[in-house]
Amino acid sequence: MVYKIGQSQGSGTVILGCRSDTDDITGQVAQVATATPVNRNEIEAALGEFRGPILQTPPPHSAIQVGGKRAYDLARAGQTVQLAAREVEVHRLDMLSFEWPFLRVDIDCSSGTYIRSIGRDLGERLGIGGLMTKLERTSIGPCRVEKAIDPASLTKDSLASFVLDPLLALPGHERIVLATQQIADFRQGRAVAISQGASRLAASAPIAAVDETDRLIALARWSPETGRLHPELVFAE
């Protein structure tokens, strides 16, 4: 089961006129000898093709599992990694600045979107190649960078005041309240029957199991076959 926090925002800088095996500046970078400078109008027209629902192939150097191994481990070992294209959604993609060959963009997208892939594919759409040289995530779900805390500034006494409710990271999860005995069963890895809320659950729906005080107990899965709620990831008391 994959748990996603949802929509995210960020800004990044793309270098046009070159390619990389990692789709960013950390890989083996090669200049495209035939690349010629493009103008802002050409870039703006190309950006329009990357807004809305799009099919995107993740970079070979990514954390996606392939046969039980991370794609980047296979790529680093010299193996050819073939990743399937998948649908993501780009809600907003704006050009912040452009001075050849550097293009700076601002993006608002669904979880699972690879900005490196957008930089790569934009460069290919322009026929000149492109790779990501800088990327900053400014928000993910309700968490924003301007509210971030420098870990070095935290102390044992101040830490608790900055800890966020973990339910903020689960905006798309159905919430099911467990009774005391159900919580005990969950902590032993046992599935439980539920009488309230079962009718609204789907087999694929992500579920957050909480106690009566709305404290997160576990991430769970509903099974119509067994009619029970199964624990997937139980958090420590």
CATH code, domain carrying 198: 2.30.130.10
Cα–Cα dist 53/202, whole Å: 24
Cα–Cα dist 43/3, whole Å: 34
In Å, what is the CA distance from 26 to each residue of 39, 133, 236? 26, 8, 38
Percent with pLDDT over 90 in the chain: 64
pLDDT tens digits, one per residue of 135-176: 998 888 778 888 889 999 999 999 989 888 888 888 778 899
- Which of the two residues, 78 and 95, has the higher pLDDT score? 95
Q: Is residue 164 part of a domain?
A: no
- Which of 21-25, 164-168, 203-207 reaches the highest mean pLDDT? 21-25
pLDDT for position 163: 87
- Domain total in the chain: 2
The answer on 93 and 15 residing in a single domain is yes
Q: H/E/C letters for each residue in 53-101?
A: EEEECCCCCCCCEECCEEHHHHHHCCCCCCCCCEEEEEEEEEEEEEECC
Contacts with 51 (C-beta within 8 Å, 6 or more apart), sequence order? 90, 91, 92, 93
Give yes or no for a contact between 219 and 3, defined as CB atoms under 8 angstroms apart.
yes
Q: Is residue 26 part of a domain?
A: yes
The answer on 177 and 105 residing in a single domain is no
The answer on 37 and 114 residing in a single domain is yes
Pairing mode, if any, of strands 18-20 and 29-31?
A: antiparallel
Reply yes or no on whether the pLDDT at 197 is more than 80.
no
Of 126, 149, 127, 146, the C-alpha closest to 138 is 146
The answer on 199 and 116 residing in a single domain is no
pTM for this model (two decimals) = 0.73
Q: Which residue, of 103, 123, 143, is where some domain finishes?
A: 143
The answer on 193 and 122 residing in a single domain is no
Of 148, 117, 119, 139, the C-alpha closest to 8 is 139
pLDDT tens digits, one per residue of 80-93: 888 999 999 999 99
**Mean pLDDT of the region 52-60:** 94
Q: Which residue, of 143, 164, 195, is where some domain finishes?
A: 143
Whether omega before 101 lies within 30 degrees of 0, making that bond cis, reads yes
pLDDT tens digits, one per residue of 118-133: 999 999 999 999 999 9
Supply 77's token pair. 């070992």
Of 55, 173, 174, the C-alpha closest to 114 is 55
pLDDT for position 154: 93
Cα–Cα dist 160/125, whole Å: 48
Segments forming the whole domain that contains residue 84: 8-143
Task: Please provide the DSSP assignment of 195-219 as one string.
Answer: SSSGGG--TT--EEEE-TT--EEEE
The answer on 113 and 54 residing in a single domain is yes
The answer on 74 and 31 residing in a single domain is yes
Buried b (16+ CB within 10 A) or exposed e, 20-46: bebbbeebebeeeeebeebeeeebeeb
The answer on 35 and 112 residing in a single domain is yes
Pairing mode, if any, of strands 174-177 and 143-144?
A: unpaired
Q: Is residue 166 part of a domain?
A: no
